Amino acid sequence: MRAGGAPFVVTVASEKGGVGKTTIATNLAVYLKALREDLPVTIASFDNHFSVDAMFAIGGRGGHPVSSLLGSDVAARVTLGEYGVGFFASERRLIAPNDDTASLRAALEVSRLGGVLILDTRPILDYFTRSALVAADLVLAPVKDRASLVNVAALQRALRDEGGDEAALWLLPSLVDGRLRLAEGVGVQEFLEFAARERGYQIAPTALAKSPKVEGLALGSARRVFPVLTHARGTQVHRQLRDLAEFVLQRFDAQPPPGRRRSWAQASGGPGRVRRRRLAAGCPLCGEMPAEGTGWFCEDTARRRQSLVHTDCLASLVGGAEPSLSDPGTALLVLEKPEPGWHEGMSVALFGYDASGRPAEGLAQANLSSAHAWDLLRALTGRLPEELPATRVFLAPGGTDARDCPAAGGYGRFAALRRKVLRPWRHDDQRATSREDGE
């Protein structure tokens, strides 16, 4: 059991309301605690419906507000609630403290909270939902119909754009009516699972059935909201929630213990610098330690993977784009693989930007040779290119000391420039998705 350190964060998210997010989040907390009594389990909701308080507050007493998650001394602000689950009290009006969606992850890395933290989110991709996605070790996206399935693409884009872990995203069929049949007798769950796999999503090994009894637990006249474990054990959902909790525990157990996890503070030396946990020990292209003060800081945002790359190693693979590496006007390079998988002759582009986010004079765009692109992607992402989805990797010049990377302004400036550069791409991605949905 992990008694301290950063918690394992489970974020329950969907842009569509009415898919069962809060029911899943609150009941998952109860089942996790029932299956493993010595595991610290904490829950918080960024939504303002106060269901968390109604289920876990003892005697109607509240606790520290959910905004405490973004402060200091987080572990001391947890309130012990019903069923042994710790919670943070919901707030009617939350105000974003800044525009850095990595702040929550940073606070949790040094929180000593430990165990599992479940975050219930709003049905909009606001600052708090995006922060919960960035912080997540596991994202559960409930889907009950085609509309909610289509909306998962927005979660995936948010994870990619904000520096979250796309591999943490799992779809969970929810509120499935087993009696309902679609065209040619296809069941709803079958359709959702087929459509999800077709889009390349991971699917949780269980689904949650629609149950009037379960829905009624939150609709009674009492102020309390009761869990399925104590008030609906005769339903199919009871077994399904237990299966879901066991799946979460498997993911939790697969994570390295706190003693072997590189905390944000250890990896960075303090706020505003490199904040990810996966900084490679050496240059991913040659394996040697980079010399301090030279080179490039590289981040694969899809997998939260960071590395420090020799300039000479990078230049050997970017071909005709090499002059841009020594151009002082180049503040950010973006390596883009625009489609999933890999095929011979695939066009992989390298874009260059100056410090204001405009295309750099020395490199607006260069297409890399297929062989060089394959080698570069494999080294920088740590995965075979044929296994990768559409991918963007970011490189910034500067010092290669882990405590001062990138040198020009620290990690905060790097992240701000990355967000600025991504805005036009984000709009293009949204338009492409809209066209696909229209077809």
248: domain CATH number is 3.40.50.300
pLDDT along the chain (439 residues), means of 10: 73 93 96 96 92 90 90 92 96 88 91 94 94 95 92 90 86 86 78 85 92 82 84 94 96 65 35 45 75 72 74 77 64 85 81 82 67 84 79 78 48 77 62 45
d(CA 1, CA 394) in angstroms, rounded, equals 36
Q: Is residue 191 part of a domain?
A: yes
Domain containing 391: what range? 264-436
Q: In this structure, is residue 3 part of a structural domain? A: no
Q: Are strands 8-12 and 138-143 parallel, antiparallel or unpaired?
A: parallel
pTM over 0.95: no
pLDDT of 194: 87
For residues 285 and 225, membership in a common domain is answered with: no
pLDDT given for residue 437 in this prediction = 45
Tell whether 283 and 349 lie within a shared domain.
yes
Residues 93 and 165 in one domain: yes
Q: What pLDDT is recorded for position 379?
A: 85
**Same domain, yes or no, for 21 and 155?**
yes
Give the C-alpha separation, 290 to 308, whole Å: 7
For the chain, what is the domain count? 2
Tell me if 2 is assigned to some domain.
Answer: no
Does residue 384 fall inside a structural domain? yes
* 251 and 341 fall within a common domain: no
- Three-class HEC string of 6-19: CCEEEEECCCCCCC
Residue 112 lies in a domain: yes
Domain boundary among 260, 275, 306: 260
User: Do 394 and 308 fall into the same domain?
Assistant: yes
Please tell me whether residues 215 and 278 are part of one structural domain.
no
For residue 274, the model assigns a pLDDT of 40
Pair 183, 300 in one domain: no
Residues 58, 207: one domain? yes
H-only helix segments in 341-405: 370-381
Interval 390-418: pLDDT, tens = 888 888 887 544 444 554 456 667 777 88
> Closest Cα to residue 337, out of 262, 425, 225, 219?
425
Query: Do 189 and 272 fall into the same domain?
Result: no
Tokens of 260: 């072997």
Residue 139 lies in a domain: yes
Strand, helix or coil for residue 352: strand
